[in-house]
Structure 1
Amino acid sequence: MLDLAAQAVNFFFSFVDAMGWGERASIITGIIYIVLSVRQNPLCWPFGIVSVGIWMVVVFSGKLYADALLQLVYVVLGFYGWYQWLRGGEDSSPLLVRKTPPKLALKLTGIGIAATIPFGWISQNYLNAAYPWWDSLTTVMSLIAQYLLAKKYLENWIVWIVADIIYIFIYYFKGWTGYSVLMAVYTIMAVIGYLEWLKSMKVRRTVIGEK
């Protein structure tokens, strides 16, 4: 048992040692961000802004241009989400968790399809991007998920789960094992986030008698 524990510790330190400083900083702030998001703490946003800002530089150097652009938009959405969570509700009150209206879900699905096709084609034929179609798909999905998260729509976690699973493989094949593992952690946290947000929404509706 002790030998197994020692091997696990050695693996962890070897794993961390293989990562660059940018990857380490992005992972640490990213984990803090997702944990605070699950807990509906508005302080998640500044940590998220720092995390994606660092990662934007890393993925750009790896020719994942769509992903790099995504990180830049994340920075902007980070400030937007921060404001929304604090003052985006009625009478400038904090936002509450709610379900995505069917019309909005349909609209975002259409936008996602319409954006992925040309983005993927441009990435493949003009940008010489790595994994152009998968990169474009996850970029569009992540933008939609981030918007839903900023507006505190419950279904943001479902979109994140699908996108993060795809990212696990993209980053693994790019050789960024640390960030691939982070995506696996994000996937687990997204499942927890969905369950926690759903629970809080049900408790609030029970208290106020809302359907």
Structure 2
Amino acid sequence: MDLLRWLFDAQIPVAGTALLLREVLGNLFGLASALGGMRRRVWAWPIGIIGNLLLLTVFLGNVFGAEAPATLWGQAGRQIMFITVSVFGWVRWRQGLRDADSHGVAITPRWATPKTRIALVITLLLGTGLLTPLFGLLGSYPPVWADAWTFVGSLLATFGMAKGWTEFWLIWVAVDIIGVPLLFSAGYYASAVMYIFYGFFTLTGFFVWWRAQRRERAAVQESGPTVGARS
């Protein structure tokens, strides 16, 4: 219990202010998870869940009576959503690892269908519009629509990663563009700085998956159809 209390209260002094240790650690676990996702490694999911649990306590700090800049219900809610979808992704990637001789790579990247892309955009816009008044009633930090945008976008990006859609990286870029100014204005400086880094990282991840998708598709075409395979 003493260790948990220390973790809950510990702060890192920076330039006349203080950062919550849990916020820093949670983002570092998130970065490690993103790196694992770019490399398509199954361990990305459990590592990410640890980071989500830490950040959940950060964004609900005021609820727990701890010192925190502001309560962001969208940011807190998306940590719960991350954990839920990450369990799905963890199971799916483990299955993919067992089903294919992929040298530790859990999934083969692919493009989403045109209909799926349209559905993702509609869901992002409609979900943001529907959740904004709800988060407003809960007292989320303004602009409330930005909190709702990051929540819905994060849900879609995590689900897209679990499915192996290369476009999920671009959804993260859209989340970061809105999430960075929101976090800075709410006083979550460690998360805001990490989001800036994530923005460049997600663009890199998109091109890494795109190249892997083209390379692995070319390898399949060169190998030709296997004997007895169904068309």
Q: What TM-score bracket applies, with the shorter chain setting the length? A: 0.7 to 0.9
Instruction: Kindly provide the amino acid, as one letter, of the partner of residue 83 in structure 2.
Output: V
1:22 aligns with 2:22: yes
1:182 aligns with 2:194: yes
**1:127 aligned residue:** 138
Task: Report the Cα offset of residue 207 of structure 1.
Answer: 1.3
Task: Report the Cα offset of residue 159 of structure 1.
Answer: 0.5
Q: Number of paired residues? A: 196
1:38 aligns with 2:38: yes
**1:82 aligned residue:** 90
Task: Report the Cα offset of residue 203 of structure 1.
Answer: 0.6
Specify whether residues 92 and 123 from structure 1 end up closer, same or farther in structure 2 by C-alpha distance, changes over 3 A only.
same
In structure 2, distance between residues paired with 1:92 and 1:113: 36
Once the two structures are superposed, residues 108-145 of structure 1 have per-residue CA deviations (whole angstroms, 9 ceiling, x without a partner) of 22222222212102222x21211211100111111111
Instruction: Kindly provide the amino acid, as one letter, of the partner of residue 68 in structure 1.
Output: A
In structure 1, distance between residues paired with 2:52 and 2:164: 20
Q: Which runs of 5+ in 1 are unaligned?
A: 1-11
1:47 aligns with 2:18: no
Q: By percentage of residues, which structure has more helix?
A: 1
**1:201 aligned residue:** 213
Instruction: Kindly provide the amino acid, as one letter, of the partner of residue 107 in structure 1.
Output: A
Q: Which runs of 5+ in 2 are unaligned?
A: 1-11, 62-69, 101-105, 223-231
Asked whether the 8 Å contact 1:29–1:51 carries over to 2, the reply is yes
Q: Secondary structure at 1:18's aligned position in 2?
A: strand
Query: What is the TM-score normalised by the length of structure 1?
Result: 0.86
Query: What is the TM-score normalised by the length of structure 2?
Result: 0.79
Asked whether the 8 Å contact 1:154–1:194 carries over to 2, the reply is yes
Once the two structures are superposed, residues 139-177 of structure 1 have per-residue CA deviations (whole angstroms, 9 ceiling, x without a partner) of 111111110011110000001011112111111111111
Higher Rg of the two aligned structures? 2
Percent sequence identity is 22
Asked whether the 8 Å contact 1:38–1:189 carries over to 2, the reply is no
Q: Secondary structure at 1:19's aligned position in 2?
A: strand
Instruction: Kindly provide the amino acid, as one letter, of the partner of residue 127 in structure 1.
Output: L
Specify whether residues 38 and 95 from structure 1 end up closer, same or farther in structure 2 by C-alpha distance, changes over 3 A only.
closer
Asked whether the 8 Å contact 2:40–2:107 carries over to 1, the reply is no
Candidates 105, 123, 128, aligned match of 1:116: 128
Task: Report the Cα offset of residue 31 of structure 1.
Answer: 1.6
In structure 1, distance between residues paired with 2:132 and 2:86: 25
In structure 1, distance between residues paired with 2:48 and 2:42: 11
